[in-house]
Structure 1
Amino acid sequence: MSAPMPFWRAAGMTYITYSNICANLVRNCLKEPHKAEALNREKVHFAISTWKDGKAEKPVVLLKFELPK
């Protein structure tokens, strides 16, 4: 007897993919102004800070992008 498998795994998805799909559905169902605020929060920014003498120097932004819809 085998344990039940989550449907997202049975569909060939990772949990992160499933979670992103659910989050996009919820964001798209919101009414304004909450929808605009939620869409702004999905923007991702990456930065690197170099360390010198135990202190972080000014961060350098490497990449800015929006998550796929």
Structure 2
Amino acid sequence: MFSLQSRQFDKAIERFKTVIDQKPDAESYFYLATGYENIGMKKEAVTAFQKVKSWQLIRPYHNSSTARSGN
């Protein structure tokens, strides 16, 4: 996420693609989409945002930051 905050969008995109390859979740797709959007890759951004939406529809209670694990 630091890469996005520091506006290193190419680096952020590569990092979130790696994260998604290992363990996909809605939050990672959201940040991937944000990276694409910031460098003008609209088609890729829309595709990633659609993955966020479908991920949330399929797994409405699963989110990497709010997973119900007793934390």
TM-score between both structures, scaled by the size of structure 1: 0.27
Higher relative contact order (CA 8 A, sep 6+): 2
Higher share in strand: 1
